Amino acid sequence: MNNESTNQNAFGMIGLGTMGANLLQNIADHGYNCAGYDTNYNKVDSLNQLDYNNIHGYSTIQDFANSLKSPKTVMMLVPAGKIVDVVINELLEVLDKGDIIIDGGNSHFTDTERRYKDLESKGYHFIGMGVSGGEEGARKGPSMMPGGDKNAYEKISPILEKIATQVNGEPTVAYMGARSAGHFVKMVHNGIEYAIMQLISETFEIMKKGLQMDDKEIEAVYAKWNEGRLKSYLIEITRDIFSYIKPGDKHLLLNNIKDEAKALGTGKWTSQAAMDLGLPVPVIDVSVGMRDLSRYKDLRIEASKIFPDSPNNEFRGKADKYISTLESAYYFGMVSAYAQGMHLLYHANQEYKYNLNLDTIAKIWRGGCIIRSEFLEDIYAAYNKKPELKHLFLDISIHDDLISSTPNIRAVVADASRSGIAVPAFSAALSYFDNFRLETMPTNLVMAQRDYFGSHTYELNNKEGVFHTQWEKLVDAENSTKKPLS
């Protein structure tokens, strides 16, 4: 292993945790000389102990920078937040104008927007890049969502395209769009991830409590689902979770895991961004909410003692006959989760002028990332066929699948409610669909109420203008003309 500063390293990495170290090995495997830097000497030493002669670890940022070819390319894989700004400021002391800085962490898109403008004004090229696939993806091929300086992306794209997963001969990386587009796309990816994980957990609850199935039977269901149209990374790992027993134990590790969810905040960011744009993503919203509720474990234990469980959680009918109904209902919910995420991207593109291509996003999500699935081929086909498609529900093929699945999600939501089993994501997916397809919603009553108590005005269906009514005077006048009942 050669640790000399040769000024020949094509790529630099700051942050040598598992993700950073794995990504460097991926880059080195494709023939590039690369450098790593971390303030933790043990991580630097571990990197230098790897059996590579084209990976070089450095414990000072100056030596690290000196080892890079100009124009220098440096990627940060550090925790989102203030530390990113700290590292950028350190880099500006050792880099030159015209060098490329990549933030590969889960930064909030508003922070990326600010950093992009600041670094551009100072003469540096900045790329905010979402990276999905976890530790294994970093090592074997992630899905990457870079946005920002397009010219800088074109310079580094040969490296990124080689280290990305390949699907049908195409790399799962592409330029997303201007400024903070890459991190916005990654944020939405994570929101969809929240939603799908919640939907899967609800199928588990239905099989366990409603259908009274044991762990082996549930494992078999997920295994079968992963062979058909539900094939996806998240179903695949769920299958594996239902087969893992620690040595010496007699039951699944899953059964020992506490039911309190942790989160890094990216799902919440998706909901907040959607609310800021005035756009509904209810399956994502409720999935964030359920993780929050899970953390109130003590409160839930207290409530469980005073609110008795449903007298009969068991669904009517036999499990083997009901599983096809549940599969169809899950498909419906999954489609809704993706559709809401893509709809958010559609409107963010208009609001923030990102110049996103939704077909490209679907294409790079087909492999390497956490939400990769068979269904993404359908999403890619829909937007490839009609780039201006406003909503996935309007694609004819997806429309037909939703129609055929609707009776089954209605059955699952009704049966779960009757049996006292919570299925908030399924319910949100169904309610969203039922309102989406209405020409007339009952929101006219909401507008009348707002005008009554707050003079907020309203519009009329067949008349131009904005109107306000003195509701109380009309009601008082009406009441004064009524004769008392004899």
To which residue do tokens 């925790």 refer?
Answer: 79
* Encoded amino acid at 441, one letter: M
Tokens of 434: 């039922």
Please identify which of the residues 43, 72, 186, 209 carries the catalytic annotation. 186
Long-range contacts of 33-40 (CB under 8 A, 24+ apart): 33/6, 33/8, 33/9, 34/9, 34/10, 35/9, 35/11, 35/64, 35/67, 35/68, 36/12, 36/64, 37/12, 37/13, 37/61, 37/64, 38/14, 40/16
How many CA atoms, within 13 angstroms, populate the side-chain half-sphere of residue 381?
9
Whole-Å CA distances, 316 to 202, 207, 408, 418? 18, 12, 14, 10
348's CB contacts (< 8 A; 6+ apart) are 184, 188, 273, 277, 354, 356
Q: How do beta strands 170-171 and 166-167 pair?
A: antiparallel
Let me know if 193 is a catalytic residue: yes
Bridge partner list, 153: none
With helix as H, strand as E and coil as C, how does 73-117 read?
A: EEEECCCCCHHHHHHHHHHHCCCCCCCEEEECCCCCHHHHHHHHH
- Asked about 186 being catalytic, the answer comes back as yes
* Among candidate residues 49, 58, 52, the one with its CA nearest the CA of residue 27: 52
From residue 350, how far is each of 130, 243, 277, 346, 394 by CA, in Å? Answer: 20, 45, 10, 7, 19
43, 72, 113, 193: the catalytic one is 193
- 41's enclosing H/E stretch is helix 41-48
Both tokens of 278, joined, read 């005035």
For the chain, the first-to-last Cα distance in angstroms comes to: 102
Q: Which residues are catalytic?
A: 186, 193
